[in-house]
Amino acid sequence: MTDVVVIGSGVTGLSAALYAARYELSVLIIGDMLGGATSTAWTVENYPGFEAIDGYDLVVKMKEQVEKLGVALSTDKIVEINKNPNDTFTIITETSEEIESKTIILAVGAARKKLGLPKEDQFSMGKGVNYCTTCDGPLYKGKKIAVVGGGDSAVKGMNLAAQYADKIYSIVRGDAYKPEPINLVRLQKFIDNERVEPIFNATVLELLGEERLTGIKLSNGREIEIDGLFVEIGAIPEVVLAQKLGVELDQYGYIQVNNMMETNIAGVYSGGDATNFFGHFKQIVTGCAMGSVAATSAFKHITKA
């Protein structure tokens, strides 16, 4: 019987495992993609302690740190979690392994929505297509970029990126932005000084360029030369396992947690991009914070502290 099974080997899961191991609990991490989204992040410039670090290198450091504490890592995929009559859990993997655990930490992340255009995957390998303006916007200092999306993440991202980029073309499918009002007030300043150019009622039809992105073609017929494109059209949390187990979701379809990262099921905790905590702020530092709290709650549950 393992004390804690952490599902997901992204930064949230690795941080949870670090704390749980230091509480001297037995810990197993099961994640089918080491590092999760962070391993695809290229240069990370906002994780404290590192001026700039490759996302993959950062997660390898985190992995080595937990392994030194005796945490076991498996790259299996979980297909089912069942609650047992004695309030423990049975985790079933794709390779039909069954693992018993006293507690579970769901650190399963969320997939960023894509445009679904040809060359998108090719250009997203550090060649101009990005999915996190807050994370990678500052890398485009003095350049021209376009941001697709009119929600809060897109607008917040533009407010940050506008301090670096020379020009931002803001492509919105509808005829208005839908962010938190304060973020729109901030964006208006950049629209007024023409740093941001809103283009409403438009979608991206084509990504231009051979080796890397050089421009975009819009549904209104316009072609724009840019150095980078940011796709900010939402994320889909990985909640299938949680739902089958009976974990409650919030109104946006994310795992519902309280400020101790507890779900509605005793012994089941969550954190990171799969939850909607910290107001959708999906970052490495917020994921790590939530992972540490989830592990603390698991420790208290096991020791009845």
> Which positions touch ligand FAD (CB under 6 A)?
7-13, 30-33, 36-38, 40-41, 44, 46-47, 77-78, 107-109, 112, 131-132, 135-136, 238, 241, 272-273, 282-285, 287
CB of 186: closest distance to ligand FAD in angstroms? Answer: 20
CB of 163: closest distance to ligand FAD in angstroms? Answer: 16
CB of 10: closest distance to ligand FAD in angstroms? Answer: 2
Q: Which is nearer to ligand FAD, 114 or 178 (CB)?
A: 114
CA 271 – CA 263 distance, rounded (Å): 10
CB of 167: closest distance to ligand FAD in angstroms? Answer: 22
Q: Which is nearer to ligand FAD, 139 or 202 (CB)?
A: 139
Q: Which is nearer to ligand FAD, 162 or 241 (CB)?
A: 241
Give the other-Cβ count within 10 Å of 113's Cβ: 14
Q: Which is nearer to ligand FAD, 33 or 184 (CB)?
A: 33
> Which residues, 6+ apart, have CB-to-CB distance to 233 below 8 Å?
113, 115, 148, 149, 151, 154
Q: Which is nearer to ligand FAD, 26 or 40 (CB)?
A: 40
CB of 61: closest distance to ligand FAD in angstroms? Answer: 14
